[in-house]
Amino acid sequence: MAVRVYSARRVVTMDATTPEATHVAVRDGRILGAGGPELLGFYPGAVEDARFAGKVIVPGFVEGHAHASEGMVWRRPYLGFFDRTMPDGSTAPGARTRADALERLRTLEAELPPGEPLLVWGFDPIYDDGPRLHRRDLDAISTSRPIVVSHASGHIINVNTLVLERSGFSADSNLDGLLRDADGLTGELMGPPAMQRATRVAGGGGLMQRLDEPGLRAFARQAARAGITTATDLQRKLDDETLDLMRRVTAEPGFPMRLVAALGAREYTLAEGVARIGQLLGTGNEKLHLGIVKLTVDGSIQGFTGRLRWPGYHNGAPNGMWYIAPAELEGIVAAYLRVGAQIHIHTNGDEASAVAIDALEHVLARCPRPEHRTTLQHCQMADAAQFRRMAALGMAANLFVNHIYYWGEQHAALTAGPVRAPRMNAAATARREGVPVAIHSDAPVTPLGPLFAMWCVVNRLTSKGRVFAPAERLDVAQALHAVTLGPAWTLRLDHAIGSIAPGKFADFAVLEDDPFDVAPERLREIDVHATVVGGVVCLP
Amino acid sequence: MIRLLVVGGFLGAGKTTLINRLLARAERRFAVLVNDFGSVAVDAALLAAADASSMTLANGCVCCSIGDDFGLALERVAAGGPELVVVEASGVSDPWRIAQLALVEPGYELGPLVVLADAADLPRLLADPAIGDVVRGQLAYADIVVLTKTDLAGERLVQTREVVRTIRPQAHVIEARHGEVGLAELDFAVPHERARFLATAAHPFRTWTWRDPRPFDRGALRALLGALPASVLRIKGFCGLDEEAGDFLLQYAAERWSFTRSGAGAERALVVIGTQALDPAYLAADFAAALR
């Protein structure tokens, strides 16, 4: 096979031996080496490829916590505040004001065939100081067609009066999860029982449907556009049909992404889950990595379902929910570790993190397992002492730094409160205490975008422009590590991806600007020119 | 209407044992909805048919997985026409949140909320800083508390009964030595109409019926429902509201209530179920005052 030597304005390798280069040599989809123009002379017949001559090459980004439903949510119209890019490359414009949002709904309603419900997602009223969205607003759009507006947080929906009526909810129902004012119900519903019922009678299933082929391809397109060359689908029922789809599509030479599919433990009983992951270990391919199990311990902080330590929620809300009971976790961790799975544990609140750390410590004392790399996902409220224990136990943290921007103000006002909110996602402390750090989007919760996540962790700005704990900022090199080698380590793939070094896959993100040159506040504006996956160029 | 019985309780309280025994004995044709489908152990001799998410027993009972959407599961299982649906809430969930949806689910009426508790372990669980609030929350709206493993509890049984009484004084507490509880004990056992105020140990609940064809004032009825004494556990029945034509179905449970328009035809009467402290004279005066 021919050797191709890409030349670029600059190659940032994240490899300590050759940190910087201008050329990178590739053969058979793998990296021969990075260096200067002399590389051309090392390999007879090598071809110089100058198409990235003015660009900056960095290791392909690794998204350590996303969901393939990012490729599917776009089947429903988007009503969020921020502009977002859809899988076809077009922009879904943000609705900046209440009037914009209602106008968008009016247009969508007019285009829908009669009888079909109007179901939209991504609504984010926290940037809106006006009154809360009311069923009257939606009734003004239609009284004869069910309307369901799902919020970006995933924990609230707004519906019109028709949906309330069909649900059996009225001013005459006094049930948990139905918001009311002097005129009766407002049409805002919280909590799974009420939300599921309203969505069902409106004629719309959940957004997390079974993964299908167009959805998986759209997910990969979204990833490529963001410079991502490896992405996780971090909670999935991995039945034969889903696996067949993943195996077939990822085996295509042109499929522009490596996929890490994590078995969602909550989709199985413990015995079934352990048996299933045992069957899957080692059965992937070069672009499909299996063997990770995802456990979910608590809920979300903005939904008040995360489990917090003292003093709990700032607004006095009761503590959140356990999805796995603390006493059960140890047995679950032990069973999955014993079969050889790698474990990623969703813990948002610090009480949940404490329980996960305790469980792992007990398991490792009985059955030590080198290189287990158990990773806490989100881990938003961990403090220095928790990070020290995590480091001692060989754990990693994948921090949800995008929260600083998207929900930081809300955390300060309501959840963690003004003192603890700025301390959330303490990336610098985690690093200082020796914990391997990754940062993530949890797409579709926030948009796929490692450069945006880097911007968040480097600047720590809220949506209102407040800086949260500057001492917890990472520098650009550390931030780049947290979207490349950092997450690669948490996926046990750092031998193959995450840096530009001999023998690794030729996975690159090709950027228009140099993240080390632009002003830190402009990191999120850097355009992705292309990605290279296994030596195959993918132009978004 | 299909009666819905929600069975809650923390992990290890014995919910699965109880469900397995109820299924094996099957005094009535009922359906069970469970979270952990794999844990239901039905004797192969009893099994008539099974697929990935449901089992049908030779005695006519069915057992189904709740899946992602509880309301959908209720709708599906109702199609089979069971006399009773028993729902096993997950060990870390709040069973009351599930139960109150039955107040608006068409075709269902809410039976008692049954919460199981390990008599030997409950005081320790309540003192655990990480889960004490969850366990307390599960008991907070219980109508019937079943104490299990009482044979292992020894002297702790007294302490356990005391903490249950503190958290939920209205609850009727029964003991199940080895998960031996009949379905009849898990319902609002009330004496026959004729002797309805002669409550005995066998009839821990009282019932009283309000009969009056005149409509209520909607606002006054809402206010009444918001201020009922703790001795009232359930209200169910039909009534008129304001000057609106037709009847409304009223369901009330533990400070939560709903009235929905009804197909009509039924007698206007409200059946009240309460603890032995239920005071009909007091309620009658309140109901009368809420009439239009």
Per-residue pLDDT of A339-366, as tens digits, reads 999 999 999 999 999 999 999 999 999 9
Q: Is A370 a domain residue?
A: yes
Specify whether the CB–CB gap between A443 and A70 falls below 8 A: yes
pLDDT digits (tens, 9 = 90+) for A460-501: 999 999 999 999 999 999 999 999 999 999 999 999 999 999
Tens-digit pLDDT profile for residues A296-346: 999 999 888 999 999 999 999 999 999 999 999 999 999 999 999 999 999
Residues A219 and A336 in one domain: yes
To test the contact with chain B by mutation, choose from A183, A195, A197 the residue with the greatest count of B C-beta atoms within 10 A, namely A197
Instruction: Tell me, yes or no, whether A512 lies in a domain.
Output: no
Range of the domain at A17: 4-54
Q: Are residues A140 and A226 in the same domain?
A: no
CB contact under 8 A, B71 and A197: yes
- Choose among A197, A269, A351: nearest Cβ to B36: A269
A18, A128: one domain: no
pLDDT of residue B165: 96
For residues A488 and A501, the answer to whether their CB atoms sit within 8 Å is: no
In chain A, % of residues over pLDDT 90: 87
Specify whether A345 is located in the same domain as A450.
yes
| Structural domains counted in chain A | 3
Residue A248 half-sphere exposure toward CB, CA atoms < 13 A: 11
Question: Do A467 and A334 belong together in one domain?
Answer: yes
Mean pLDDT estimate for chain A? 95
Q: Which residue has the tokens 């039909």?
A: B238
pLDDT value of residue A397: 98
User: Which ipTM was obtained for this model?
Assistant: 0.85
pLDDT of B264 reads 62
Cβ pair A190, A155 in contact under 8 A: yes
Of B70, B71, B103, the CB nearest to A175: B103
Cα separation of A503 and A525, whole Å?
A: 32
pLDDT(A145) > 80: yes
Pick the residue from chain A with its C-alpha nearest to B37: A269
CA distance A321 to A386: 21
* Parallel, antiparallel or unpaired: strands A156-159 and A184-190: antiparallel
Domain boundaries, chain B: 2-186, 193-289
User: In a 3-state reduction of DSSP, which class is residue A37?
Assistant: coil
Angle between helices B280-289 and B218-226 (to 10 degrees): 150
Residue A504 lies inside a defined structural domain of this protein? no
Q: Is a pLDDT exceeding 70 seen at residue A118? A: yes
pLDDT digits (tens, 9 = 90+) for A272-291: 999 999 999 999 999 999 99
If you measure CA to CA, which chain B residue comes closest to A298? Answer: B92
**Tens digit of pLDDT for each residue in B1-60?**
899 999 999 999 999 888 888 888 877 788 999 877 766 777 777 777 888 778 888 888
Q: For residue A205, what is the nearest residue in chain B, using CA coordinates? A: B69
Spell out which chain A residues touch chain B, with contact meaning CB-CB distance below 8 angstroms: 167-170, 172-177, 191-194, 196-197, 200, 206, 269, 271-272, 307, 318-319, 321-328, 351, 355
- How close does chain B come to A181, measured CA to CA in Å? 15
Do both A297 and A174 map to the same domain? no
Give the whole-angstrom CA distance, residue A231 versus residue A259. Answer: 5
pLDDT level of residue B191 (50, 70, 90 thresholds): low
User: Which member of B39, B92, B255 has the closest CB to residue A321?
Assistant: B92
Higher pLDDT, residue A259 or B266: A259
What is the reported pLDDT for A207? 46
Question: Tokens 């009804």 map to which residue?
Answer: B262
The residue in chain A having the minimum alpha-carbon distance to the alpha carbon of residue B262 is A168
Q: Are residues A167 and A274 in the same domain?
A: no
Considering the domain architecture, whether residues A44 and A137 belong to the same structural domain is answered as: no
Interatomic CA distance for residues B108 and B111, integer angstroms: 9
pLDDT at A206: 53
Residue A149 has pLDDT above 80, yes or no: yes
| CA distance, residue A349 to nearest chain B CA (Å) | 12
> Is any Cβ of chain A less than 8 angstroms from the Cβ of B262?
no
> Cα separation of A540 and A528, whole Å?
8
Choose among B38, B225, B255: nearest Cβ to A271: B38
Q: Is residue A308 located within the same domain as residue A168?
A: no
**In this structure, which topology does domain B193-289 adopt according to CATH?**
Hypothetical Protein Yjia; Chain: A;domain 2 (3.30.1220)
- Is A371 in the same domain as A435? yes
pLDDT in tens, A515-540: 999 999 999 999 999 999 999 999 87
Residue A318 within any structural domain of the chain: yes
Query: What's the 3-state SS for A60-129?
Result: CEEECCCCHHHHCHHHCCECCCCCEECCCCCEECCCCCHHHHHHHHHHHHHHCCCCCCEEEEEECHHHCC
CB A231 within 8 A of CB A223: yes
Q: Check residue A469 and give left, alpha or beta (phi > 0: left; psi -120 to 50: alpha).
A: left
Nearest to A237 by CA among B264, B53, B135: B53
> Are A159 and A247 within one domain?
no
Interface residue of B258, B259, B261 to substitute, partner A, most A CBs within 10 Å: B258
* Top-confidence residue, B183 or B245: B245
Instruction: State the amino acid at position B91 in one-letter form.
Output: G
Q: At B143, is the secondary structure helix, strand, or coil?
A: coil
Tens digits of residue pLDDT in B83-117: 899 999 989 999 998 898 888 888 898 999 999 99
The verdict on B188 touching A (C-beta cutoff 8 Å) is no
CA distance to partner chain A, nearest, from residue B219 (Å): 10
Query: In the CATH hierarchy, which top-level class contains the domain B2-186?
Result: alpha beta
Is a pLDDT exceeding 80 seen at residue A245? yes
Q: Mean pLDDT over residues A60-86, rounded?
A: 94
Confirm whether A528 is domain-assigned: no
Measured between beta carbons, which residues in chain A are less than 8 angstroms from residue B98?
193
Q: What angle do CA B18, B20, B24 make, to 5 degrees?
A: 115
Instruction: Tell me the H-state helices in B140-214.
Output: 150-153, 156-167
Please report, for the domain that includes residue A124, its CATH number.
3.10.310.70
Residues A301 and A420 in one domain: yes
Q: Which residue of A has its CA nearest to B255?
A: A174
Q: Which run of H or E residues covers position A22? A: strand A20-27
The pLDDT tens digits for B262-291 are: 876 778 999 999 998 999 999 999 999 999
What digits encode the pLDDT tens for the residues B114-128? Answer: 999 999 999 999 999
Distance from CA of B204 to the nearest CA of A (A): 27
Q: Within an 8 Å CB–CB cutoff, is residue B225 touching chain A?
A: yes
Q: For testing the chain B interface, which of A69, A166, A167, A175 should be mutated: the one with the most B CBs within 10 Å?
A: A175
d(CA A387, nearest CA chain B) in Å: 20
Q: Which residues of A touch B11 (CB under 8 A)?
A: 325, 327-328
Per-residue pLDDT tens over the stretch B123-168? 999 999 999 999 999 999 999 999 999 988 888 999 999 999 999 9
- DSSP character for A154? S
Chain A interface includes B26 (CB < 8 A): no
Q: What is the pLDDT at residue B196? A: 47
pLDDT tens per residue across span A129-143 = 788 999 999 999 999
Question: Residue A411 is part of a domain; what is its CATH number?
Answer: 3.20.20.140
Q: Do B11 and A328 touch (CB under 8 A)?
A: yes
Which positions ≥6 away from B90 have C-beta within 8 Å? B35, B36
Q: With 50 as the cut, is the pLDDT of residue B204 above it?
A: yes
Q: Peptide bond before B280: cis, by omega within 30 degrees of 0?
A: no
pLDDT higher than 70, residue B197:
no
pLDDT tens per residue, range A372-410: 999 999 999 999 999 999 999 999 999 999 999 999 999
